[in-house]
């Protein structure tokens, strides 16, 4: 399985949803970097399950055990390894999926690829639980980026058809990003957040799930970070973001809406701001030609509705080779996007630090 990303800083995720533990190895971090583990924990707490009505009821404390890589709280050059225990597992809920794969989950393609030896419990290595170690790596990278003046933040932009206010693409305030990060339901406009909660509630009442979009930004990046063609900033960020389970799409800046615009509407005029050259608008989302322009990087990530739903569905009994009904047991997130907000920030932080250090 390829669960490693990065060139200069390599991040490897390991473990399964119901194995003894899950974790991450981060190799190649710059040395002597102080890592505040309380800040890491606050970041992890934003993703942890079981703390609100709108997420899975699985309760994991998500307190990492640091195995190596830090001496006196500073990176020491050895790989930084952190492990999380899996404690609240109910593996019996997944026994039926050995034979009857869940629609739209990885059960069936994984069964074929790994010849039935894959760990199906809780989704195994495909589980959203692997975003806990991803967030650990992201939290470490965020602290190093912050010292370089770079800040990353995200919010839940939509659930179903309910939308939050968008980030101002040319001027994003640090204080706004800090404020969202402190919220239990990470939106800019709390009234929109309430409407989104109602949409999730309604899906839950129907034993169903709902999709959503996360908007993420990175500010104060140096100009010219990235490469043309295959190693561009969009390419690199998309690779990391598609490592988050449940992602169905990503758009940068104006994204798909650009296809309906004229050049005169879409072009971002260059202008001077003291001794800096900036753009008046930011349809390009901070990236042109695969290179950062110094404007905020803005991207939106679409998450599918959680595939594990309580409504009876059709599937196939593999050992009997016959179609059958399936009712999924267990505890599931009704809307993946709610808990994935810090995971998107983490994917950005890991990639941007790697690009800066390469």
Ligand X SMILES: Cc1cc2nc3c(=O)[nH]c(=O)nc-3n(C[C@H](O)[C@H](O)[C@H](O)COP(=O)(O)O)c2cc1C
Longest C-alpha distance within the chain, in Å?
72
Q: Which is nearer to ligand X, 70 or 348 (CB)?
A: 348
Q: Quote the DSSP letter at residue 98.
A: G
The CA distance from 306 to 303, in Å, is 8
CB of 327 to ligand X, least distance (A): 14
Match 């140096």 to its residue by tokens: 222
The CA distance from 17 to 130, in Å, is 7
Residue whose C-alpha is closest to residue 235's, from 252, 248, 247? 252
Q: Which is nearer to ligand X, 122 or 285 (CB)?
A: 122
CB of 214 to ligand X, least distance (A): 10
Q: Which is nearer to ligand X, 48 or 219 (CB)?
A: 48
Q: Which is nearer to ligand X, 138 or 245 (CB)?
A: 245
CB of 105 to ligand X, least distance (A): 5
Chain residue whose CB lies nearest ligand X = 128
CB of 173 to ligand X, least distance (A): 27
CB of 56 to ligand X, least distance (A): 5
Which element (helix H / strand E) includes 154?
strand 151-159
The CA distance from 13 to 326, in Å, is 31
> Phi then psi for 126, rounded to 5 degrees?
-85, -5
Q: Which is nearer to ligand X, 27 or 88 (CB)?
A: 88
**What's the token pair of residue 248?**
């169905």
**What's the token pair of residue 343?**
């995971």
**What's the token pair of residue 13?**
């995720």
CB of 68 to ligand X, least distance (A): 26
Binding site for ligand X (CB under 6 A): 56, 105-106, 123, 126-128, 131, 244-247, 304, 306-308, 332-333, 336, 339-340, 343
Q: Which is nearer to ligand X, 207 or 265 (CB)?
A: 207
Displacement of CA 167 from its chain's centroid (Å): 18
**What's the token pair of residue 6?**
């990065």
**What's the token pair of residue 93?**
């809920």
């Amino acid at each position: 399985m390829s669960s490693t990303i990065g060139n200069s800083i390599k991040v490897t995720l390991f473990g399964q949803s119901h194995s003894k533990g899950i974790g991450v190895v981060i190799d190649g971090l710059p040395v002597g970097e102080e890592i505040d583990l309380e800040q890491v924990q606050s970041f992890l707490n934003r993703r942890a399950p079981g703390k609100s009505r709108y997420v899975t009821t699985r309760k994991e404390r998500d307190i990492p055990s640091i195995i190596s890589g830090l001496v006196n709280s500073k990176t020491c050059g050895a790989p930084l390894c952190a492990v999380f225990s899996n404690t609240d597992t109910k593996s019996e809920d997944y026994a039926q999926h050995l034979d009857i794969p869940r629609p739209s989950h990885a059960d069936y393609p994984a069964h074929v690829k790994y010849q039935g030896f894959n760990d199906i419990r809780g989704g195994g290595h495909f589980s959203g639980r692997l975003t806990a170690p991803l967030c650990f790596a992201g939290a470490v990278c965020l602290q190093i980026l912050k010292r370089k003046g770079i800040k990353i933040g995200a919010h839940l932009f939509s659930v179903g058809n309910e939308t939050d206010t968008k980030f101002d693409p040319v001027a994003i305030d640090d204080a706004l990003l800090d404020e969202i990060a402190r919220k239990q339901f990470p939106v800019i406009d709390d009234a929109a957040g309430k409407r989104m909660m109602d949409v999730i509630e309604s899906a839950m009442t129907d034993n169903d799930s709902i999709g959503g979009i996360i908007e993420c930004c990175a500010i104060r990046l140096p100009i010219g970070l990235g490469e043309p063609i295959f190693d561009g900033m969009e390419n690199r960020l998309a690779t990391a973001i598609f490592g988050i389970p449940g992602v169905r799409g990503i758009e940068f800046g104006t994204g798909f809406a650009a296809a309906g615009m004229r050049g005169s509407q879409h072009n971002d005029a260059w202008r001077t701001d003291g001794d800096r050259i900036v753009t008046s608008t930011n349809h390009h989302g901070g990236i042109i030609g695969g290179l950062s322009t110094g404007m905020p990087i803005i991207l939106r990530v679409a998450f599918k509705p959680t595939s594990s739903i309580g409504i009876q569905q059709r599937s196939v009994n593999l050992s009997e080779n016959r179609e059958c009904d399936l009712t999924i047991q267990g505890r599931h997130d009704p809307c993946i996007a709610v808990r994935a907000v810090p995971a998107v920030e983490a994917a950005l932080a890991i990639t941007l630090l790697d690009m800066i250090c390469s």
